[in-house]
Structure 1
Amino acid sequence: MRRPTSLSRRAFCACLACGLAAPRAMASDPSVPPAVGAVEVKGTLEPHLNVAKSENHATPHVALTLDACSGHVDMRILSVLMDEEIPATIFVTARWLRKNAEALALLKSRPDLFELENHGLNHVPAIDRPGTVYGIPTAGSMEAVVSEVENGAKWMVKDGLAAPRWFRGATARYTPASITAIEGLGYRIAGFSLNGDQGASLPAGAVAKRIAAARDGDVIISHVNHPERDSGAGVAKGVLALKARGAVFVRLDTLEGREVAGMVRQ
């Protein structure tokens, strides 16, 4: 699908004026401590996503999505996925791609397993209001949101990857206006239903327990860019436990409109 590089004036104004109703629920725990004196943006939305459930409860369907924000690659996770032939959708930033040429080559060598999608240019939250989300400075304007999304995609294509169809912003939170803008650029926003590692902040045991307990239809979010943290070992262990339960792993590029999406308001 061809995507415009910028919003028309009419679309831009519509994005600024739009609003979405959403049920209230507990927000995800922050993955980054707030900066001292930071002003957190309120009223953001966290899209949720579930894949279609299995017709056989003995073989739950789950989607494993992994964020590669910056830093390096956690081979504890990738090795398990390759050895066990487990497919996953990986969201990459241009920052991560620039630093991890060898890991990128490895991912590109297994297109049967790995779907690569857009996590933005510089891992800046796709929020069009000035402030912070979980202590991370936001894009701050609609023009900056569009730049974060579109330039992340351009960098992926530059590195020989297919044009992405899904987008997940830093912190996975958005405003109603930024959701409308991103979808207007032709992307689907990748929500989730199970936070496996809380921004790679949890100990391995807690991560493994969360992921191993995934339910039929869950979309799992975790991180594959922190080999120095304990959480990655838990991701690998939890995924192995899921496979032992008979889980069927699906990628987001296989979804055909039967998934269920929703919103959680901060």
Structure 2
Amino acid sequence: MRLVRLIAAAFAFAPVAAQAADVEPRLTIVAPDPSVRTVALTLDACSGATDHRVLDMLVAEAIPATVFVTHRWIRSNPAGLATLKAHPELFEIENHGENHVPAVTDVSQVFGLKTAGSLEAVRAEVAGGAAAVEAATGERPRWYRDATARYSPDAVAEIKAQGFAIAGYSLNADMGASLMAPTVARRVAAAKSGDVIIAHINQPGRAAGEGLAAGIRALKTAGARFMLLKDVETRLDDGPETTIAVRKAAPALPSAAPKKARTS
């Protein structure tokens, strides 16, 4: 009986061990100007709607941000996309995937989301998202961020092989838009020079967006400089190796995107 229990325990902990090998890459700005607090604001538009508390404030305050959009968000938010495209001086539009699927092959779920499960599915998710961004904007994306910002090591290698820089982060502002407004505002306002901030712009019904807008305003009032990822040199710490990306050129896209990854 004791042997049976030990075997059962081993299987129970197997997924945890596999997931522990996954990485959540840290991205920072290399050697920011020491005379001014310099940050990169990155916003995820996973699916759902557009949080105009954040978007409209960025336009009104002329604050730049790199926005990671999925094909699902593009299809559902033509007005939000139009606003991003109308302000190329403020917004860099990058690849968040076809269907918001984690680039993970070693476990079946991450934070409740079904993972890609295979490198073929990772390739499809990345290529499908890139094709959607290019079709919507006329420009090829340079950066890729998956759902959950977690990756299995083989997926990291695959995405880099496709020519994309992986958009990690150093400051999680809203924990998937799950935090209350005062907490988000404090986290953003406390950003350090060189931070790459991750937050969400697709949850207008949650309190996090209110705090995000307030925190960004506080940073601006404090004299912070906001930069687009394409305009800075960055350092990615993703496990066995460190990547330095300097204004990375957009990768060539395949003539046809691979078969889409299933999400259900």
- CA deviation map 1:136-180 (0-9, x unaligned): 110001100000000111111222341100000000000111000
Which residue in the other structure is 1:44 paired with? 22
Tell whether the 8 Å contact from 1:53 to 1:60 is kept in structure 2 after alignment. no
The AA in structure 2 aligned to 1:84 is E
Gaps of 5+ in 2: 1-14, 241-264
Gaps of 5+ in 1: 1-38
- CA deviation map 1:99-153 (0-9, x unaligned): 0011111110000000000000000101123411111110001100000000111
Is residue 160 of structure 1 aligned with residue 134 of structure 2? no
Question: Equivalents in 2 of 1:63, 1:111: separation in Å?
Answer: 16
Q: Compute the displacement of 1:261 (Å).
A: 2.0
How many residues of Structure 1 are paired with residues of Structure 2 in the alignment?
Answer: 224
Q: RMSD between aligned alpha carbons?
A: 1.4
Tell whether the 8 Å contact from 1:125 to 1:173 is kept in structure 2 after alignment. yes
Is residue 135 of structure 1 aligned with residue 131 of structure 2? no
Is residue 221 of structure 1 aligned with residue 189 of structure 2? no
Q: Compute the displacement of 1:80 (Å).
A: 1.1
Q: Compute the displacement of 1:54 (Å).
A: 3.4
Q: 2:45 aligns with which of 55, 68, 72?
A: 68
Question: Equivalents in 2 of 1:154, 1:49: separation in Å?
Answer: 24
Question: Equivalents in 2 of 1:79, 1:101: separation in Å?
Answer: 15
Residue identity over aligned pairs, in percent, reads: 49
Tell whether the 8 Å contact from 1:48 to 1:264 is kept in structure 2 after alignment. no
Which residue in the other structure is 2:151 paired with? 174
The AA in structure 1 aligned to 2:228 is R
SS at match of 2:24: strand
Question: Equivalents in 2 of 1:232, 1:107: separation in Å?
Answer: 17
SS at match of 1:259: strand
- TM-score (structure 2 length as normaliser): 0.82
Which residue in the other structure is 1:238 paired with? 215
Which residue in the other structure is 1:262 paired with? 237
Q: Compute the displacement of 1:52 (Å).
A: 2.7
- Answer 1 or 2: higher relative contact order, Cα 8 Å, separation at least 6: 1
SS at match of 2:203: coil
Is residue 191 of structure 1 aligned with residue 154 of structure 2? no
Question: Equivalents in 1 of 2:53, 2:77: separation in Å?
Answer: 16
- The structure with the greater share of residues assigned to helix is 2
Which residue in the other structure is 2:79 paired with? 102
The AA in structure 1 aligned to 2:157 is T
Tell whether the 8 Å contact from 1:128 to 1:140 is kept in structure 2 after alignment. yes
Question: Equivalents in 2 of 1:55, 1:248: separation in Å?
Answer: 10
Which residue in the other structure is 2:180 paired with? 203
